[in-house]
Amino acid sequence: MPGLTWLPQDPEWKSNLKSLPHSDSRWASLMALANTQMDFVRTAQLDRQLAATPLSIGPEPIKIALLSSSTADQLLPSLRVAALRRGLRLDIHVPDFGQYRQALFDPNSMLVKLPFQVFLFAIDAHALIGDEFIADTEQAKTHLSSRLSDLAGLWRRAHNRTGAQVIQQTLMPIQPSLLGNGEYRATGSPAAMIRAANVQLRALAAAENVDILALDDRVSCDGIAAWHNRALWNHAKQDVSPAAAPMYGDLVVRIIAARRGRSAKCLVLDLDNTLWGGVIGDDGLDGIILGQGSAQGEGFLDFQRNAKSLAQRGVILAVCTKNDEANALEAFDKHPDMILRRSDIAAFVANWDDKATNVRRIAAELNIGTNSLVFADDNPFERNIIRRELPEVRVPELPDDPALFSSTLADSGYFEAVEITKEDLARGASYQVTRELRQGLIATSDIAGYLESLDMELIWGRFDPVSLRRVTQLVNKTNQFNLTTRRYNEAEIAAIMRDPDAIGLHFRLVDRYADHGIIAVLMGRQNSRDAIELDNWLMSCRVLGRGVENATLSIVVGEARRRSAQTILGRYRPSTKNGMVRDHYPSLGFCLSSGQEGHETVWKLDLAMPTVAAPHIRIKEITGG
C-alpha cells in the first residue's frame, strides 16, 4: 500500500478525532490530524468531520471539477483531506458518471456555469486509448495522436472558460504485455501505447500549460498492484484502488498548492546523524561516518547529494545544529568526502539554543516565512519540538536508515514544483550573497509546556557492575558536555565503587518517547568534612536543553547534604571541544572560587543558598544492585 510514510503516526488519533473542538480552533485541530499517517478508512472518517465543519471556519474553498472516466467516489475524501493537510479546502464537483465530455460543452452544465479554479482530468487507459491491439503501426500512431489531440481540445475548453488550472493524470500501466521485453516493438499493443501516450502527454501538456499528475512515475515506485486491482476494476470500475487513494489525493493537492506558491522553499538540515553518522563534536573529523565504502556512510552521502541537487534546482539549504560552530564548520571545510560545502548553505546556525528558536532565526535571516521550511532531523525529540512550537514547518519522519532519507523526502512532495525557472537555477548564489548581510528578528520560544508534556524521569544510581561498561564508554567518548575531560578506564571506575569517600553517579533519562539509557555521569570526592569536590560531570548532547543539568544538580545537592557537606566545588578544564560548558557552573548558581577565564577554574556552591529548580523532571533513585 502506498502509505504517507513521511507523516508521523499519532497513537491518540481516534480519541483526537472524537474530541475535535467546535470553536475556531477546530480548523487547526483538523489540520493537525490530517498531518498524521492514515489509511483510506481514517481519511474518510476525518473527511466526515471536515464536512461537519461550517464554512465560516477555515479558508474559502477552491472549486475543483473532477473529470473522471471511471468511478471516483473513493478519491474524494482523500482529495479533501490532502487539501486540509495544507490548510486548504476543496469544493469538488463530479459530473455524472461518463458525462464529463458532454458537460464541458453543454452551456447549461455546472462545469460551464460555475467558476472552477481547477480541472482535474482523471482519464484511465481504457478510456483514452482502448483495450485493442492495433496491428498496423501507422494506424496505431494515428489512433494515439487523434485521441491526444481530442484530449487537448478538452483542456482548452476548460482553460478558456475560466483560466483555470488544468491537471492531467498520466496513464497507469494496467495492460498486460503481448510480447514481453520486446513490447516496444509492437507499437499498437495497449501496453506500448500507454507508454507512448505518457511520453506524448507530457510534451503536449507543457505546450498547453497543463500540469501533469505523474501516476505512472508513482506506480513505478509502489508497483501497479498497490494502485490498481483488476478485480475491483471489473467489479466497480475503480481505476485507483481505495488503499492508494490517500496518496492519490496528496499527489493532486501538492500540484494545486504548488501553483498557489505553497510549496516549501528551504530545507533545514541537522548535521549529526542526518548529514553524517556520529557526532562531530565527540567523534571528531575522522570519527564521523561518511562515505568511505561503508553502507551507512554511503547512505549519508546519498542524502547530501540529494540535498545538493535540490539546491541546484532552487531549494535553499540551511543548517540547524546543536554543536559548537567551529566543530560544525570543520566538517564542511575539511572532510574530504563532504558533498555539501559551506557555500551551499544559505544560513548556518550552530549553537546550543533550542531548535525552535534557531528555526525562527533561520527564517528571519533568509527573509522567508517559517511555513516555507522543511526541517530534516534524525532526532524525534527535535522533530516533535518543532511540530509543537511551529506547526507550520513541515517535518518529515526520517526513517532509521539514511539510505531512505532521500526517497522519504521525495515522497513527501514538500518541494513540489510544477516548473523550473532561471531564477530557481540561480537562487543558491543569490542567497550566498545576502547571507552575511541579513540580521533577523528572533522571538524566544517558550518551551516549558513542551518539556512538561515529555513526562521526563531522571533515574539515578551509584556506579555498579551493571552500569560499569556504559559509564566507562560515556566517560571516554564524550567531548563536548564534559567539564574536565578526564578519562578513566574500567578498573579506575570500579575502584570508585569501593571507595567510601568517592562519589560516582550515573543518570538515565526516560521520557514518553524513549528510554535514552544512561546519558550522564558525575564523579567527585569528599576531600574534607564540609566540601564535596566534583571531579567530572559529563552528559550526552542528545538530551541538551531539557533541564537535565538542573535535575542532576539537585541530586548532587541531596548527596552532599546526606554527607553533611556545606559546599560543592566544581571544576572546569577547557579543551578544544568543550566550549559549550564554559558557563555550566555559573548558570547553575555557582560562584567563581579560583582560576581565571581561559584556564582551569573552580566554582563553588554554598548549600545554605537555594539552588536552581528542575521543574519538568521527576527524580527517582535506584537502590541496591
Contact residues: other proteins, CB under 8 A: 1, 39-42, 44-45, 48, 73-74, 229, 231-232, 234-236, 238, 241-243
In whole angstroms, the minimum distance from the beta carbon of 55 to other proteins comes to 21
Q: Residue 238 or residue 479: which is nearer to other proteins going by CB?
A: 238
C-beta closer to other proteins: residue 39 or 91: 39
CA separation for the pair 85, 411 (Å, rounded): 15
Kindly tell me the burial class for residue 476, based on how many C-beta atoms sit within 10 Å of its own C-beta (0-12, 13-18, 19 or more): middle
How far apart are CB 29 and other proteins at their closest, in Å?
17
Strands (E), 191-315: 211-213, 266-269
Residue 229 vs 550, nearer CB to other proteins: 229
3-state secondary structure of 348: strand
**Shortest Cβ 3–other proteins spacing (Å):** 10
How far apart (Å, rounded) are the C-alpha atoms in residues 606 and 591? 9
Sign of CA dihedral 50, 56, 60, 65: positive
Please choose, from the candidates 575, 497, 504, 583, the residue with its C-alpha nearest in 3D space to the C-alpha of residue 536: 504
Supply the minimum distance, in Å, between the C-beta of residue 263 and other proteins.
30
**Closer to other proteins by Cβ: residue 40 or 100:** 40
Alpha helices per DSSP H over 72-136: 76-85, 100-105, 110-113, 125-129
Give the list of residues 6+ apart from residue 176 with CB closer than 8 angstroms, or none.
191
Residue 172 or 245 with smaller CB distance to other proteins: 245
Complex with other proteins: residue 235 or 498, whichever CB lies closer: 235
Measure Cα distances from 482 to 451, 541, 579 in Å.
Answer: 24, 10, 9
Tell me how far, at minimum, the Cβ of 93 lies from other proteins, in Å.
Answer: 18
Rank residues 13 and 133 by Cβ distance to other proteins and give the closer one: 13
Gap between the Cα atoms of 455 and 554, Å rounded: 18
Of 225 and 613, CB closest to other proteins: 225
User: Cβ neighbours of residue 303 under 8 Å, at least 6 residues apart?
Assistant: 274, 275, 402, 405, 406
The count of other CB atoms within 10 Å of the CB of residue 265 is: 18
Shortest distance in whole angstroms from residue 623 CB to other proteins:
43
CA distance 158 to 422: 29
**If we measure between CA atoms, which residue out of 510, 537, 514 comes closest to residue 617?**
510
Least distance in Å: CB of 94 to other proteins? 13
Name the grid cell of 180: 514481453
Shortest reach from residue 232's CB to other proteins, in Å: 7
Residue of 264, 271, 218 whose CA lies nearest to 407: 218
Q: Which is nearer to other proteins, 41 or 591 (CB)?
A: 41
Q: Which residues pair with 63 in a beta bridge?
A: 91
As a whole number of angstroms, the distance between CA 93 and CA 112 comes to 12
Task: CB nearer to other proteins: give 39 or 106.
Answer: 39
Between the alpha carbon of residue 338 and those of residues 306, 334, 342, 344, 373, the distances in Å are 13, 8, 10, 11, 23
Q: Of 231 and 609, which CB lies nearer to other proteins in the complex structure?
A: 231
The least CB distance from residue 11 to other proteins, in Å, is 16
* End-to-end CA, the chain: 48
Instruction: Give dist(CA 433, CA 35) in Å, integer.
Output: 35
Measured from the CB atom, the residue of 14 and 342 that comes closer to other proteins is: 14
The length of the chain in residues reads: 625
Tell me how far, at minimum, the Cβ of 242 lies from other proteins, in Å.
Answer: 4
**Which three cell numbers mark 132?**
485493442
